[in-house]
Amino acid sequence: MANSEFEDSIRFSDVVSALSVALDLTEGQPMGHAIRSCILGMRIAKELGLCAQDYSDLYYALLLKDSGCSTNSARLHQILGSDEIVAKREVKLEDWTKLSLSGARYLWRNVLPAGSLPHRLKRILQVALYQKSNNAELIGARCERGAEIARKIGLSEETAEAIRSLDEHWDGGGYPEGLERDQIPHLARIMNVSQTVEVYVAQQGTEAAVKVVSARSGSWFDPEIARVVQSLKGDSELWQRIAAPNAREFVLEMEPGAAIPASPERIDSLCQAFAQVIDAKSPYTFNHSVGVADAAVEIAEAMVLAPGVVTMIRRAALLHDIGKLSVSNAILEKPGKLTDREWKIMKMHPVYSRLILSNISGFEHLAFVAAAHHERLDGRGYPDGLTETQMPLPARIIAVADVYQALTETRPYRDGLPLNVVFGMMDEDVPNRLDRDCVAALKRRKAANPVRVKSAYAAGI
């Protein structure tokens, strides 16, 4: 992607729709949830006769509706004491605005499942008592962050506000502000219905989804939008498109107006935005992707690589852990040794990174490089056990940068290590794990710049 003419041929919608799959993982949804929600939301918008600008604003709001979702992951895990991804998935099928037997069962499954009975009952009572304040905190953080990301990647204020108001309810019982009726942006009302319908269709079928919309009309949902969904019940082509394996192709076809090119600036903006989404997942990784990108660029520049290659390495480094959005905070923040099952889940994150990134036209090599950050030169890494001859230089650079950044960061089981200890440990990994020339290049750069100023990437999207 060194050639700007090539980059301009990539569609912005192609990049956004592919990256949206990572957000689905964080929310515990099957990959493609946002894409399928977009198909339905755009059809609703057509039935409502939205103007061209609203149609365009809604399209990107639907694809990026969950862009703030990682912001509350650590806090939800802390509140429940369990796998927050499972909890997020299950709550999508609950009307959490009401006390119910189903809601009590949800709490029983998801609050301290491994704890003793007294501890569980005490925590369940606390969660129930503080439900409203917890919801305000969790949903508020998610919605504010999502709106901020939309603004900083150049989307409209209407798109940002729609994302911010995604979880507002028609009767005022939603969050973050308790807006009601016409106070809620029209686009947000469409999005709330669309995402709920998609979840129910995926898990219980169209009949159940339409029934839920009818039941929540006038409480969660704008009655007018609920009527539109009810009128679409018999549209078999619509539901077939939503369920189709190639649903993303339909979303790309639905892009309003002329396709927006993914210019180099837009690509960089998206990479930086998603790096912050990734790093927000855990307080222990709040600057990890950005730090890996900084270190990788330092190595690449010290090795005098071509500017286009440096750009590709930086983007791959920013996105290398995008698959880690599939890993629960119960694993990411575990202070002790992982079980075999937990380790198996952790080792899948590079696979998800490659799968997500390779779906973007022109990102195939970047996807391979990004996903190889846990490979070793001796073939004992994961996920593919690549050997020295199978790892191109950009992949080796990111592998070195990832180890360096991980050692300097504070983790649940240790504090960040000083530079002399870090390089001592990295020297022990040369040449079996890490590339000698890449480590040497990083040492040279750190020796020349012992005090790093705050990263430009860390300063903002």
H/E stretch holding 5: helix 4-8
Distance of CA 122 to the CA centre of its chain: 32
Please, are residues 73 and 146 in contact by the beta-carbon 8 Å criterion? no
Please, are residues 22 and 274 in contact by the beta-carbon 8 Å criterion? yes
- Say which DSSP state 71 is in: G
| Distance from C-alpha of 4 to C-alpha of 230, rounded to nearest angstrom | 46
Please, are residues 88 and 28 in contact by the beta-carbon 8 Å criterion? yes
Total Cβ atoms within 10 A of residue 419:
14
Is 324 an annotated catalytic residue? yes
Tell me the residue type at 381: G
- Say which DSSP state 261 is in: B
- The most distant pair of C-alpha atoms in the chain lies apart, rounded to whole Å, by 68
| Distance from C-alpha of 44 to C-alpha of 79, rounded to nearest angstrom | 36
Q: Which of 9, 6, 22 is nearest to 359 (CA)?
A: 22
User: How close are the terminal C-alpha atoms of the chain, in Å?
Assistant: 20
| Distance from C-alpha of 168 to C-alpha of 256, rounded to nearest angstrom | 26
CA dist list (Å): 385 to 215, 292, 377, 382, 426: 52, 22, 9, 5, 20
The single residue of 88, 92, 324, 446 carrying the catalytic annotation is 324
CA dist list (Å): 75 to 6, 20, 259: 41, 22, 38
Strand partners, 414: 411
Tokens of 427: 């020297």
Tell me the residue type at 376: R
CA dist list (Å): 133 to 52, 90, 124, 240, 372: 38, 20, 15, 40, 42
| Distance from C-alpha of 284 to C-alpha of 406, rounded to nearest angstrom | 10
Tokens of 374: 């846990």
Strand partners, 378: 387
Q: What share of the chain is helix, strand, coil (3-state, %, to 5)?
A: 65, 0, 35
Catalytic residues, by residue number, are 324
